[in-house]
Amino acid sequence: MGIMYIGCAVFLAAALVTDLRSMKIPNKLTLPAVLSGLAVHGVSGGWEGLLFACAGLGTGFGLLLVMYWMGAVGAGDVKLFAGIGAWLGSVFVLQSAVYSVLFAGLIGLMIVLWKREALLRLRRMLFSIGGFLLFRSGSSLLAGRESQMRFPFMVAVIPGVISAYVYLSI
């Protein structure tokens, strides 16, 4: 299983560099990661290995697709987690996603506090939720996307994957 972690780590390192540079994770990186994860498991484990990789791929893709629909992550992140799942399986990709979201929340909180925008963002959020609950037109939870805070999700994914690795290897 060590080769699987190394293969995924190479893929994640490349994704980190591209995400930091351009805030995107390109298909020319994610597609080979998914296909190579399926191929390695198929060759090393036969049908059972291929099913393991397919289950991980589906778990990672499906979970992040929901987050994409909510506007929390980009499409590259969805395919990134499909690649992680293809290499390391369902349990690992699920743990990685949970830890990554927790790290993203912590990073977002630190950015908001650093920029001293905490009260302004809290007030906007409360007004948005209040307008949504009162069915007011023009106020929805998805309004004002241009004011949403953005940072490369890979900054949260790397510690999330490391945390999942440590947790699952204990």
Rg from Cα positions in the chain = 18
Q: What is the pLDDT of residue 70?
A: 87
Q: Which of 161, 149, 24, 20 is nearest to 98 (CA)?
A: 161
**Is residue 95 pLDDT above 80, yes or no?**
yes
**Is residue 162 pLDDT above 90, yes or no?**
yes
Q: What is the pLDDT of residue 123?
A: 74
Q: Is residue 50 within 8 Å of 38, Cβ to Cβ?
A: yes
Instruction: Give the type of residue at 86.
Output: A
C-alpha 38/C-alpha 91 separation (Å) is: 16
Which comes out higher in pLDDT, residue 26 or 133? Answer: 26
Instruction: Give the count of domains, the chain.
Output: 1
The residue range of the domain holding 154 is: 2-169
